[in-house]
Chain A
């Protein structure tokens, strides 16, 4: 047992910290710190800064232009980015589609799409869930019928995050309606400009537009946009989901969130004293912090095992459940800390307008974020599905 990072790892952390101090624009970290939305332009800007540094693709092999960092390095990078209030990198192209293309895509697909992901030329979104296929993803119904040199796609996807910015979508489609559910699914790359595609916004309960419905009516997709083999899409989708779960614990986000809660509680007064001195509130913060300290080590234990080549099994489900519970608890604390100032809904304050926050810093975003982050335990395989996986492995039935 040694709880210390190695000399090399510490040097790496210092290098990352120095880069963030130099290159992360202050207006960007200020916005992230108080929970403001970045918009497409902001995301593109940060994407370009990381690309210039060569740090945009921590998990990609070097042959494709990635960093090929090990799991501990990636953890350090993510932790430092959160600590500095850097924007989150939109994961759909970089950490979800890219690993699939690198493993299952054709040489032609790799040469064409991967550089465009790095350059920011393509913004990818994910076409997985459907109105009738949520937790039960394999029941998806969007149909792709082969007609000569193209597929004709009909159906509807939903919860498509930031689909309004995307020019490409990777989709799971049903190519064999006769086969057993998982066996008849294929993985298609679709240009969003193709006739027959319509993107409709879904407004979430905090007033944000981050997800969409995507409708397909007789959309013609060239057969060369099929990834791997027809009817093998479920295998690729499962591979993608394991990558979706790499930073699933969100330790860095929780640490940054807890700091924000403490900042707010120092500035909010309760019965004439700073709220942070109130024993009831302080106890809530302490409980979250204790959970997070243990979580952070659980995360590192699993990461080190992954760094030594062992694939994480049920541990990633455990990290997802506990990690999201802690993040949601911290969002709850932020909302509490804001007091009556959690009540206003001032959308300009959240969208980067000039209106100053009312109440303490971060108060305007506290309650909207509390509600928005209920999604954490719903998406990426709901926490109930994760518990099913854990139970299945530990109580029988195999995985």
Chain B
């Protein structure tokens, strides 16, 4: 047993933490609600510097052109992003987009991964649909072969980072029915293609997403990622990696919320003394710290089992996200409550951090869905 970070990961953590702290103001500016000037949803300059720092490369294996890419590399990076409240779309462009191209792409398509690692290219996965909720197999968008062309039509929901993306990775069904694993294909499509209409909006927790309408989007065989109807395993794999990253990001945000709350309890005076001197509040703070350690262990379990057997992996990842869903809600709500009104204001950093924590539960499966997946695995 060894719970220390390797030297490389420690260096990555230190340099990323320092960089994010030094750029706190720019990071915060792009997370504020109603920031209409920022149609990207994040800070382009910071994105470039993250690439320079090697943060994007750390999310890919050497084989794919990066230099790390294991579970603990993902958690090291995302914990720091979460702690800083960063909304830069590493999850969407690198883990999901880059990960899928690396897994399924032709040599020509794979050339894009290098551009992702260099910070020159953005990607977005357009997979979820209005009726799919968190089920990966509920794909109703259709892909129909018509001579040399493939026609896509359907509607994709809440595609994060779609407006900023140079390419969208769009899932569509070539055979079978909604709910089947077989028959799902992925297509790599320039975002500005005719037949693709985006309706963009900001997200409550920062960043941007879009509804993607596909109306007779005409593609060729060369636009497909991998074999026809066989994309599900790679899709599942990429989303699983994204879930580990998201769990770590939420853990980082929980750490930040807990720390802000601890500081506030020590400084805020009411009834002539710091409110942290009241035992009722001390106990609640203690509970948060206990839950935070539980969350940290759950993330370690998930990252450590990313390459385990399918059952083991699924158990630990659903367990981590279920636990983080529960503990995260507690930390977010209690941090706000222990602060009082100040934490309700958009200006105070905790408001943004609390939103990151709670809204993470709405990606790839909420607390209940994770419980259901855990039960599916433990019954299997």
Contacts and interface: CB of A to CB of B under 8 A. Distances in A.
A129 B341 contact: yes
Interface string A364-389: 00011011101101110011100100
B269 to A, nearest CB: 7
B337 A377 contact: yes
Contact of B158 (A340, A347, A384): A340
A344 B209 contact: yes
B363 interface: yes
Nearest to A207: B33
Interface stretch (A12-20, A85-93, A268-276): A268-276
Interface string A21-39: 0000000000000000000
A393 interface: no
B299 to A, nearest CB: 22
B340 A382 contact: yes
- Most chain B Cβ neighbours within 10 Å, of A203, A359, A370: A203
Given A207-B346, A359-B130, A345 B202 contact: yes
B309 interface: no
Contacts of B133: 268-271, 275, 339-340
Interface stretch (B50-58, B82-90, B365-373): B365-373
Given A340-B128, A344-B209, A375 B201 contact: no
B55 to A, nearest CB: 24
Contacts of A275: 133
Contacts of B363: 340, 343
Main SS of chain B's interface residues?
A: mixed
Interface in A110-155: 129, 132, 134-136, 139
B138 interface: yes
A104 interface: no
Contacts, number: 150
B362 A339 contact: yes
B358 A340 contact: no
B359 interface: yes
A268 B133 CA distance: 8
A367 B204 contact: yes
Contacts of A271: 133, 135, 138, 179
A332 B333 CA distance: 11
B346 A203 contact: yes
A5 interface: no
A205 interface: yes
A84 interface: no
Given A205-B355, A280-B372, A344-B158, A375 B341 contact: yes
B263 to A, nearest CB: 17
Given A368-B204, A374-B333, A374-B344, A207 B34 contact: yes
9 contacts: A202-B347, A203-B33, A204-B345, A205-B354, A272-B138, A336-B361, A344-B209, A346-B201, A371-B351
Which 3 interchain pairs have the tightest Cβ spacing? A205-B351, A136-B270, A280-B368
Given A343-B359, A345-B201, A383-B337, 20 more contacts: A134-B340, A139-B272, A159-B341, A205-B344, A271-B179, A332-B329, A336-B367, A339-B362, A340-B134, A340-B157, A340-B158, A340-B363, A343-B209, A345-B202, A346-B201, A359-B130, A359-B157, A367-B358, A378-B341, A384-B280
Interface of A: 129, 132, 134-136, 139, 158-159, 202-207, 268-272, 275, 278, 280-281, 284, 328, 332, 335-336, 338-347, 358-359, 367-368, 370-372, 374-375, 377-379, 382-384, 387
